[in-house]
Amino acid sequence: MHRLKGMAIAAVVVASVVAWSGSAFAQAKIVDGPEVRWKLGAWGKPRAATQNVETLRKFLDERTGGKFKIQIGYESFGNPKELLDLLKIGSLDATNICASYHPEKLPVYSALDLPFLPIPDTTVQEKVHNAFHKHPLVLKEFAGWNAIPYMSALLPNNEFVGRGKAPKTVEDFKGMRVRALAGIGEAMRKLGAVPTSVDATEVYTSLERGTVDAAAFPSTYAHQSYRTYEVGKWFTENMMLGSVGCPTLIHVDRYAELPPQYKALLEEARELGHAAVKKAYAEADDKNIPLFKKKLTFLKFTPDELAAFRKAGADPVWEEWVVKREAQGIPGRELLNFLLKQAGVEPKS
């Protein structure tokens, strides 16, 4: 449970930052400026992963005396796979997205979806994502969608909740139908599982009806948010499958229209938003682990099993991604090495 311990430590580190939020926003000097009204797309319901944009919304409202307001539409502005296109055409001013819902639209950004990247916790992830969002190739790719990457949901590593016979070894995943996105899905395919990219909002029904046998979600908050624990029978506590890149994007024209003082507020809000999601994940784990233990059988794989899984599902998937991207004219090796270096790992030559 090293991930949970790490998240608890991270929560302590950011507590002083988050404590400044809330009513203290209003105590700071009001920043004057024009009236701005933005629509920001999201899905599901307000939860740990959306505390970044909820913090942003409240911060801008209070720091501008109500002049800069953001309306967050939880699937009222479009479903998860539509939001990137809606931003591009200007129907939205900002939006949350997950690249894994349409990886071929964002082949450069899909690097963050590779399984088992050496990103053990959200603190390392924040460093990696902040750097990646400034990479020229990432900026160029999002520019094609009239978008600027702003901040990240900093999603925790994925774990499975499943029904039916619990897998005692990674070999037992063979033939299992799993909801696993992007690179995590490819890693599961290497084990003989059958991955599918069911939308998050459809996972509960898919598990309940047996359309999928197991679902991978950022753990533990997303499993609680989408109630998989209500229909599942078992939970993997230490697979550490990896994460997916789910940034908040701002329309390039809407950003350009902002006065300098509002752009400065956006810069200030980013760290507060990231701190808010880290704190929310840690608090969710504190509540969810005891709840899950009442309802689910916890599965812990041996170090040898995990090493075998990574051997099958990490390096081969990374290499296939590099080959595929370079065939598209994208420097996949450079991007992968960039991520590894930002995570503090020396790439293999």
CA–CA separation, 157 and 169 (whole Å): 20
72-113 tens-digit pLDDT = 999 899 999 999 999 999 999 999 999 988 888 999 999 999
For residue 27, the model assigns a pLDDT of 66
Q: For all residues of the chain together, what is the average pLDDT?
A: 90
CATH topology of domain 2-153+244-285: D-Maltodextrin-Binding Protein; domain 2 (3.40.190)
- Region 4-14 average pLDDT: 40
Indicate whether 226 pLDDT > 70: yes
For residue 136, the model assigns a pLDDT of 98
CA–CA separation, 88 and 205 (whole Å): 31
For residue 23, the model assigns a pLDDT of 52
For residue 25, the model assigns a pLDDT of 60
16-42 tens-digit pLDDT = 344 444 455 656 789 999 999 999 999
Q: pLDDT tier at 70 (50, 70, 90 boundaries)?
A: very high
Query: Which residues pair with residue 72 across a beta bridge?
Result: 40
Map out the domains of the chain as residue ranges: 2-153+244-285, 158-242+287-317
Residue with tokens 């909801």: 179
Residue with tokens 């509960």: 204
Q: pLDDT tier at 349 (50, 70, 90 boundaries)?
A: low
179-225 tens-digit pLDDT = 998 889 999 999 899 999 888 889 999 999 999 999 999 999 889 99
User: Strands, E, within 143-276: which ranges?
Assistant: 147-152, 158-162, 177-179, 194-196, 214-218, 234-236, 247-251
Q: What is the CATH number of domain 158-242+287-317?
A: 3.40.190.170
